[in-house]
Structure 1
Amino acid sequence: MLQKLRAFFWPIQKVELKKVIPMFLLFFFFVFNYTILKDISEPLIVTARGSGAESIAFLKLWGTLPLALLFMFVYSKLSNRISKRALFYSIITFFISFYLLFGFVLYPLKDVLHPHAFADKLEAFLPKGLSGGVAVIRNWTFSLFYALSELWGTVGVSFLFWGFSNDTTKVSESKRFYSLFGIGAALAMMVAGPTNIYFSNLGKLALVDSWGVTLKYLMTTLFISGLSIIGVYYWINRYVLTDKRFKVAEKNTTTKEEKQKLSIREALKFILKSRYLLLIAGVVMGYSISVSFADIVWKNQLKQQFPDPCDYSAFIGYFSSMVSVLTLIFLFIGGGVVRKFGWKKAALTTPLVLLVAGVGSFGFIIFKDQLNGFVGFFGTSAIVMAIVFGTIQNALAKCFKFSFYEPTKEMVYIPLDNESRTKGKAAIDILVTKLSKAGGAFFLQALIIIFGSLAAIVPFIALILFGVIALWISSVVFLNKRFLKLTRCEIPKVAITNNIKIDSKTRKTEDKIFARKKSFAASKAVLKKARKKRKTPVS
């Protein structure tokens, strides 16, 4: 019984810790930076002069999308000229250098750099629905920081970490490792939340520009964490991947001439020509748009409650701490769900949960007048209940991202050949993610311009959200059939009731030394038993 529980919650053998622990630390630092940046960039934009939650919709289309396209162009050129390791170091160095520059140079000079007079003139004759776009121009350094912070989540977490993990992990290992890698993400959020709260409260003690002081502390922390990413990545390549037990054979590697001819357009053709990649794109699009729509409505309500950036950032810090605890709990469950119930049920968990929470969140906003009398009986209001359900929805979206969504999404890349994994994944994780958010932002902008405010378009957002979740669910169902066909194995409901037997079979190919010791011990036991039977009593 204890062995079955251990195999369900911790299916890692001692010899595998040499690989799991460094990957755990690498993911920890990636997600730590991601959480800090998310907690900073949103209060920075939402509470800026003349800005609000509406500005996020404009930024996703006119900020993050152009930068994502630019990154894809630069990455495509550099990937044909320098090695993967050099490219990894270059990208990380660029990001952490910019964050340090923002905290110590750009933010202190914001009053000089921001064109407030020009923005006031624009706001005077443009429609009210375009005020969010004017705020993006008015606070352009904040907008640049927000766009690059969003790009860290896509480039850093989705592309660099998971791309590296897919290149160095086997399918058999991914079913046991990927959910446990996410423990690093949960602990990162658990540390990032209190770190954000501590520096936000410390900044309040400053007599002048408390938010600027907080930013300097946090940007320095991000820089140190970025250097740690470089150090751990070097250690894995130097001491882990050189171990024969952890080597992964290359799949259908392309020649140098073919590699040099591959461009962004050809990377996009991978998605259009392959139905398998199209289905992955459907899953990624579903998550990106759903979380984006739910998040922007929630942020609009939070701004009314926390107008001060330090207070807003501190609340997000508490929120991140809550999410980290939930993520840590679900991570241990998520890996077991994949191994026991199969990929399909694990991948469907995230959209179904977001659908249920979304019904509660948007229901209390749309039908607030009808529900006020009912919830008033319990001493609250429909708006408060909408905020509660919105917080639950966003918390589950973030914790399920690392426990169910990311591990199941990354598993489906592993059976692909090397070229499809690298170029196809880059196109999906960067372009599809940003195009999805930008497309959603475009609809939001159009609706805001027509109806004048974000609050007036909540019913339309709800309809689009539920439609996208339906598309997400159907993509998972069809993708499951193709994934099982590629891996040539299906995990039935009763599969892995005895994880030890399956793990031992896997380890026979992965660790020859361990297998020989086990075989020798079994043979010795059989011989000993045979000798006892043949032994005659001595008179």
Structure 2
Amino acid sequence: MGLWRSFLPMLSLFFCLSFVNTILDSLKDTLVITAHGGGAFVIPYLTVYAVLPVSVLFLFAFSAASHRMSRAALFNTILVVFMAFFGGFALVLYPNADVLHPHALADQMQQALPQGLAGFVGMLRNWTFTLFFCMAELWGDVCMGLLFWGLANEITNLSDAATLYPLFGLGANLAQALAGLVLKATTCRPSSEFGLALQLSMAAVIVIAGIAIALQQHITNEAEAKRRHHRHRHNSSHPMAMAADGSSASSSSQIDAGAAAAAMAAADAQFDAAEAAARKAKREKQQPSAWESIKVLGRSLEIRCLAVMSLAQGLCNSLMEFAWKCHMRLLYPNPSDFTAFLGDVATWSGVVTGGLMLLSPLLFERWGWRGVANTTPNMLLWGGSAFFAACITYQHLFGAAVAAGGAAAAGPVSLVLLQVLVMSGALLYVFGKGAKFSLFKPAEEMVYITLDEDGRTRGKAAIDVVGSQTGKSGGSLLQQALLLASAGSITGIMPVMFGVFFLMLRGWRSAVHELSQVRHYSYDSPSSSMEEEEEDAAAAAAAAGSGTLPGRQ
């Protein structure tokens, strides 16, 4: 029963964070792709020159704040900052976007710069949308990747993770499906009312984020109460407490009961003080610089393998989504239609991911950690190969005609093939995302449980926030170079993109294989990291001087 009491709130928390992420993920693409002077070619520049710098700044701020604030306070502070920005965007920035955006200056830059830099000009032209894009990207990496899984890793044993981690995503899948329906409903109106739809969506984001803060506080309080309960139960069976109970035969029952309660309360307080002192002494003894932290993390095989997997994942997704969204804009140039289609994609993503998560415990048992972790790269390898082949074929057949007059002007055959291509990309996106969150992500998080504090905090922050964005930035830099070389045409760059896509997926699979040789991540794995054992020993040694022998929490 205690396991489910912690599972259901975590399920609800993941629901809230994923609901917000789905809304933001769809709107950020709509804003930058369908804006005046925008398009899918803007995203590579956003990823490198906007999102990556913001992610690096956040990493340093997070590392500094984590030394001064508790995990719960850090969680609340970060969500409040997000809520303030999205509220300000809906009420101030978006309604005044035409005034705030320097269209005249951007037009002059566009005439002076090569056509391949149109994405860079579009990023500067629509700078408020650029800010929104950055914050929306950070929400997924920070709130879902770093904060949620950091909390889960703190309160979950590895023996339970193989079962619970895939099931945590059930809340996320339901959220994706519902958020997709919300997007579909709010955008089923004339395009002139898209601003109202965006404001309604941001209101929902703020409310759900507030609920997430309340859930996080409840989970933290429950975890602390559970920890104290286990310690209290251990102390009640300690020889000192038993001696106090034995001596009670010669005293009155009220005095004995009070003495026993006082002894157990003193034991709890002594252990708390000893544990706090041990953690503080360790932090004071080990205050490495940023560069020293990087070197320490670099010596960890697990961190290196996780970094390769994160980089490959970010780069491959960047390349695939760029190709998909380039063709999607041709089919849906209107922002309301574009958002409505993304709403359908989000709904089906939730349904597919939910089905895979229900199967995930069985797949973990039958395929093992390595088989499950390889599902996502294998799916992208085979599905992505077919998708890129279709993109290359379409561009060579109709690319010039579509660039000159649009998809409809290229003829009915072109329009039908474009619809098939966009739907194929949507299927790859849906199943790739489903496999990532239901299979690969739980397998990845199981590795973090066994790491020390540096690995679980600074290492995870570096990989989840910067590592993923670095992979996306690598893909974006490649796209920029290719767009410059091809004068903005995507026809000739697709084969090169596919070649890099294929090689990175091979590297991803190799990292999974190497990591699987280190440790058996499954139900019978140890439930704690080596550092937790060291901290318990330090706390026990500190408390031994008082005659109190604390137990494992």
TM-score with structure 2 setting the length: 0.80
Q: Which residue of 2 aligns with 1:493?
A: none
CA shift at 1:484, angstroms? 2.1
Aligned AA for 1:43? T
- CA–CA separation in structure 1 for the residues paired with 2:107 and 2:471: 31
- CA–CA separation in structure 2 for the residues paired with 1:488 and 1:323: 32
Aligned AA for 1:295? E
Matches within 5 A, 1:145-294: 145-201=132-188, 203-204=189-190, 209-244=192-227, 255=281, 257-258=283-284, 261-294=287-320
- The aligned length equals 469
Q: Which residue of 1 aligns with 2:333?
A: 307
Q: Which residue of 1 aligns with 2:18?
A: 31
- The answer as to whether partners of 1:30 and 1:156 remain within 8 angstroms in 2 is yes
CA shift at 1:396, angstroms? 1.1
Q: Which residue of 1 aligns with 2:435?
A: 400
Moved more, 77-86 or 190-199: 77-86
After superposition, the Cα gap between the structure-2 partners of 1:267 and 1:397, relative to the gap in structure 1 and judged at 3 Å, is farther
CA shift at 1:367, angstroms? 3.4
- CA–CA separation in structure 1 for the residues paired with 2:121 and 2:397: 36
CA shift at 1:329, angstroms? 0.6
Matched, 1:341 2:367: yes
Q: Which residue of 2 aligns with 1:121?
A: 108
Q: Residue 130 of structure 1: which of 117, 123, 128 is its match? A: 117
CA shift at 1:255, angstroms? 3.3
After superposition, the Cα gap between the structure-2 partners of 1:246 and 1:170, relative to the gap in structure 1 and judged at 3 Å, is farther
CA shift at 1:114, angstroms? 0.5
- CA–CA separation in structure 2 for the residues paired with 1:425 and 1:381: 44
- The answer as to whether partners of 1:23 and 1:181 remain within 8 angstroms in 2 is yes
- CA–CA separation in structure 2 for the residues paired with 1:73 and 1:398: 29
CA shift at 1:487, angstroms? 9.3
CA shift at 1:385, angstroms? 3.9
CA shift at 1:326, angstroms? 0.6
- The answer as to whether partners of 1:360 and 1:389 remain within 8 angstroms in 2 is no
Aligned AA for 2:145? S
- The answer as to whether partners of 1:241 and 1:247 remain within 8 angstroms in 2 is no
| Identity in percent | 33
Aligned AA for 2:421? A
Q: Residue 82 of structure 2: which of 83, 92, 95 is its match? A: 95
SS of corresponding position for 2:35: coil
- The answer as to whether partners of 1:279 and 1:476 remain within 8 angstroms in 2 is yes
SS of corresponding position for 2:492: helix
CA shift at 1:263, angstroms? 4.1
1:278-331, Cα deviation, whole Å (9 max, x unpaired) = 001111112111111111110000101111111110110011111111111100
- CA–CA separation in structure 2 for the residues paired with 1:390 and 1:468: 19
Q: Which residue of 1 aligns with 2:447?
A: 412
After superposition, the Cα gap between the structure-2 partners of 1:173 and 1:246, relative to the gap in structure 1 and judged at 3 Å, is farther
Q: Residue 376 of structure 2: which of 329, 350, 364 is its match? A: 350
Q: Which residue of 1 aligns with 2:549?
A: none
After superposition, the Cα gap between the structure-2 partners of 1:164 and 1:211, relative to the gap in structure 1 and judged at 3 Å, is same
After superposition, the Cα gap between the structure-2 partners of 1:336 and 1:291, relative to the gap in structure 1 and judged at 3 Å, is same
Over the aligned positions, Cα root-mean-square deviation in angstroms equals 2.6
Q: Which residue of 2 aligns with 1:330?
A: 356
Aligned AA for 1:77? A
1:137-171, Cα deviation, whole Å (9 max, x unpaired) = 00000011001100111011000001111111110
After superposition, the Cα gap between the structure-2 partners of 1:253 and 1:485, relative to the gap in structure 1 and judged at 3 Å, is farther
Listed as ranges, the gaps of 5+ residues in structure 2 are 232-271, 399-412, 527-553
After superposition, the Cα gap between the structure-2 partners of 1:429 and 1:246, relative to the gap in structure 1 and judged at 3 Å, is farther
- CA–CA separation in structure 2 for the residues paired with 1:254 and 1:415: 21
- The answer as to whether partners of 2:309 and 2:512 remain within 8 angstroms in 1 is yes
- The answer as to whether partners of 1:45 and 1:142 remain within 8 angstroms in 2 is yes
Matched, 1:44 2:31: yes
SS of corresponding position for 2:449: coil
- The answer as to whether partners of 1:61 and 1:442 remain within 8 angstroms in 2 is yes
CA shift at 1:211, angstroms? 1.3
Q: Residue 79 of structure 1: which of 48, 66, 69 is its match? A: 66
SS of corresponding position for 1:412: helix
Moved more, 333-342 or 463-472: 333-342
SS of corresponding position for 2:448: coil
SS of corresponding position for 1:342: helix
Q: Which residue of 2 aligns with 1:502?
A: none
- CA–CA separation in structure 1 for the residues paired with 2:285 and 2:185: 48
- CA–CA separation in structure 2 for the residues paired with 1:458 and 1:135: 22
- The answer as to whether partners of 2:159 and 2:524 remain within 8 angstroms in 1 is no
Aligned AA for 1:234? Q
Aligned AA for 2:112? F
- The answer as to whether partners of 2:331 and 2:418 remain within 8 angstroms in 1 is no
Q: Which residue of 1 aligns with 2:490?
A: 454
CA shift at 1:387, angstroms? 2.5
After superposition, the Cα gap between the structure-2 partners of 1:424 and 1:197, relative to the gap in structure 1 and judged at 3 Å, is same
Q: Which residue of 1 aligns with 2:41?
A: 54
CA shift at 1:271, angstroms? 3.3
Q: Which residue of 1 aligns with 2:499?
A: 463
TM-score with structure 1 setting the length: 0.82
SS of corresponding position for 1:367: helix
1:471-503, Cα deviation, whole Å (9 max, x unpaired) = 00000000111132899859xxxxxxxxxxxxx
- CA–CA separation in structure 2 for the residues paired with 1:369 and 1:45: 23
1:379-432, Cα deviation, whole Å (9 max, x unpaired) = 996544432321211111211121112101101111111222111111111111
- The answer as to whether partners of 1:43 and 1:309 remain within 8 angstroms in 2 is yes
Matches within 5 A, 1:461-500: 461-484=497-520, 489=525
- The answer as to whether partners of 2:315 and 2:475 remain within 8 angstroms in 1 is yes
Listed as ranges, the gaps of 5+ residues in structure 1 are 1-13, 373-377, 491-539
After superposition, the Cα gap between the structure-2 partners of 1:51 and 1:485, relative to the gap in structure 1 and judged at 3 Å, is closer
CA shift at 1:54, angstroms? 0.5
- The answer as to whether partners of 1:27 and 1:184 remain within 8 angstroms in 2 is yes
- CA–CA separation in structure 1 for the residues paired with 2:290 and 2:185: 43
Q: Which residue of 2 aligns with 1:535?
A: none
- CA–CA separation in structure 2 for the residues paired with 1:259 and 1:196: 51
- The answer as to whether partners of 2:13 and 2:215 remain within 8 angstroms in 1 is yes
CA shift at 1:460, angstroms? 0.7
- The answer as to whether partners of 2:323 and 2:391 remain within 8 angstroms in 1 is no
Aligned AA for 2:32? I
CA shift at 1:115, angstroms? 0.6
SS of corresponding position for 2:519: helix
- CA–CA separation in structure 2 for the residues paired with 1:181 and 1:359: 31
- CA–CA separation in structure 2 for the residues paired with 1:413 and 1:70: 23
- CA–CA separation in structure 2 for the residues paired with 1:49 and 1:139: 8
Moved more, 423-432 or 344-353: 423-432
- CA–CA separation in structure 2 for the residues paired with 1:15 and 1:117: 62
After superposition, the Cα gap between the structure-2 partners of 1:259 and 1:68, relative to the gap in structure 1 and judged at 3 Å, is farther
After superposition, the Cα gap between the structure-2 partners of 1:92 and 1:246, relative to the gap in structure 1 and judged at 3 Å, is farther
Q: Which residue of 1 aligns with 2:7?
A: 20
Matched, 1:390 2:431: no
Aligned AA for 2:67? N
- CA–CA separation in structure 2 for the residues paired with 1:335 and 1:268: 34
Aligned AA for 1:422? T
Moved more, 143-152 or 388-397: 388-397
